[in-house]
Structure 1
């Protein structure tokens, strides 16, 4: 089914279930960072970057980026929503700057030069080239994801090119989410969004999912709608509380 037949179904649609999933991803991220902070202050003893923490982080990052791709397809499928692009660029640009600047004060040797917010900002521009192109999105996404995981070269080791990925030397950073492989996941989200939009049954089924049937689900739905501000404040808040409690 072509998207034109979906206009009555898709016009000005916001899927509550997408907000719920984004809220769930935020919850997982808060849990991850809370465990990290508890380890820093000596309340638990674990080694991040090894064992189950690796797939746990992958689940969080992939969830966020798939939802970024879905949202891009849903918002811009008729035509590029210029107002949305401007607002999103301003919000993510300011948020990315806050993350980078604050990281220099917190850990100068591990400053975040290109983290998840920087990636989402760039992906929000580049992804516009793939809207309504599901096959291209799927193929390009898989290629980018594979290259990012299996190719390493010194060409991108410098600070100026580190954001691209495929590096031999991974610079220490509080957060690092390079274009390769992670933009590939955004492209998968765009392709998935197109598939959802082209299927009336799937679209209406998602719309009919009740995500407010409990207080917990309502909370996740709310968190998904305010994910950016939660992302910015949760870590300083938790770290500050633990610092006070630890005396």
Structure 2
């Protein structure tokens, strides 16, 4: 089948733009959290549905995009060495997050947050990519399992990363493999389907305008989001130090 996928394509702008949108939303969410932590915003980020729902939506977007990225990588024939290089970056940043959060929140530091969870889930996703359409029911099963199976055995820090806990552990960020692997699998399944049936939809450039296209007003924001989405890990690691530093400087100087 002749298509835009007949030769390797490094990036898909629409996927990068979606990831960039999730990054912007996350940064706004975290800035509000920082304001609350400093007593400048009255908000309960642990119980108020306004904030807990946003966290779920942001995390869901990231994992769907991560699954989509794995679908693109395997379709393009990404080698295992290249996969492991990227994986090492994610895992290394997860360790840094744990260290940084331990200094800020020693009693509730992050030991299995989003990057820790993604490091495990990326390996599972890579290995399960050949299952293709079977990823849909597997994803549904992953989403349901924590509701069907809960046991005190999984409540310790050595096992609660699986997600089959009877209570949520005390930590600033907790992203266990279950149920979140289900969303990564669904992101893979949906993208594999698009790549097989509508590859041009995935490969099109958000910056291109066809004749008679009046979407010029949206081209620049989408291009900016796509650029941001290509640097997702860097942005993720830097945004909180920058936000916290700027906020503390403002408090000190006002």
Q: Same fold (TM over 0.5)?
A: yes
Residue equivalent to 1:226: 231
- d(CA) in 2 for partners of 1:34, 1:8: 40
Alignment counterpart, residue 195 of structure 1, candidates 190, 193, 196: 193
- Superposition pairs of residues 35-114 of structure 1, within 5 angstroms: 35-49=32-46, 50-77=48-75, 79=77, 81-114=79-112
Q: Does 1:245 align with 2:242?
A: no
Deviations 1:29-52 (A, max 9, x none): 001101111111222211113222
How far apart are residue 178 of structure 1 and its match? 0.2
Aligned-residue CA RMSD in angstroms?
1.8
Residue of structure 1 aligned with 2:146, choices 130, 145, 148: 148
1:8/1:204 CA distance change after superposition, 3 Å: closer
Query: Following the alignment from structure 1 to structure 2, what is the Cα–Cα distance between the partners of residues 101 and 31?
Result: 23
Matched length: 241
Distance 2:159 2:199 in 1: 40
For structure 1, the 5+ residue unaligned runs are none
Counterparts of 1:234 and 1:167, CA distance in 2: 31
Post-superposition shift, 1:11? 2.9
Q: Is 1:206 aligned with 2:202?
A: yes
> Residues 238 and 159 (structure 1 numbering): CA distance in 2 closer, same or farther, change over 3 Å?
same
Deviates more, 1:176-185 or 1:51-60: 51-60
2:17 aligned partner: 20
What is residue 31 of structure 1 aligned with on the other side?
Answer: 28
Report the alpha carbon displacement of residue 10 of structure 1 after superposing the two structures with TM: 4.8
Q: TM-score, normalised by structure 2?
A: 0.88
How many Å separate the matches in 2 of 1:192 and 1:106?
Answer: 38
In structure 2, C-alpha distance between the alignment counterparts of 1:111 and 1:39, rounded to whole Å:
18
1:186 equivalent to 2:184? Answer yes
